[in-house]
Amino acid sequence: MTDDTDGTQPTFDDGRRHDPRGEPHPDWPVIESTTEYETGWVQAGYDLVEQPDGTQKRYYWAELATAVVVLARTDDQLLFVEQYRPTIRSTQTELPAGIVESGESFTAAAKRELREETGFDPGSLSLLQAVDCTTGLLRHRRGFVFAEDLTPVGQDLDDNEFLTPRSVPVDEAVAVAREQPTNDATVEGVLLADAEGLL
């Protein structure tokens, strides 16, 4: 685990963009990069790439905002939130999560999101791991942050957030995370925390 509040982990100039890291591989030169669709939340397009055998192919991508997922433990409970997801027309029990805003580190974003969504302020935050998601299609980075030493301060939801905090006994967290319907961030986060011995 890494505490990134001291600047040892990067902050993001613009949390709504995650540019490809590094230069193209010399055996995979990018001939052209084209954006075909753009909103404030997603950008999509393709890179025309020369493959190692000399052929060319368009590799399509969608670029999403960098995000944080929070595993917040208080005593023998892990905090989840229940919310309806219009995209899949389903209510899910999820870990608190959100967008990393401009200039924030993963832990700074985690502190803000946890307070907004659950009404708890963490005394300690550690970055468990950052991952690239669905790398065959997405340019999207996600950080998993462990929070503890929680103090209740009251929810401060965004205008477009309609969710209910839910506490789950730590020894039931894996089972709850895997109950259908569920999502990748919740399953990944809980299994990661379990593997780290935090549950």
Q: Could you report the per-residue pLDDT of 13-61, keeping only the tens digit for each? A: 555 565 566 677 889 999 999 999 998 788 999 999 999 999 999 999 9
Q: What angle do CA 134, 140, 146 make, to 5 degrees?
A: 95
**Structural domain harbouring 187:** 67-195
Q: Is 33 inside any structural domain?
A: no
Q: Is 30 inside any structural domain?
A: no
Q: Is 144 inside any structural domain?
A: yes
CATH of the domain at 73: 3.90.79.10
Q: Is 145 inside any structural domain?
A: yes
pLDDT of residue 154 exceeding 90, the answer is: no
Q: What residues does 124 pair with on adjacent strands? A: 148
CB count, 10 Å around CB of 145? 33
Q: Is 32 inside any structural domain?
A: no
The pTM (predicted TM-score) of the whole model is 0.88
Tell me how many domains the chain contains.
1
Q: Is 51 inside any structural domain?
A: no
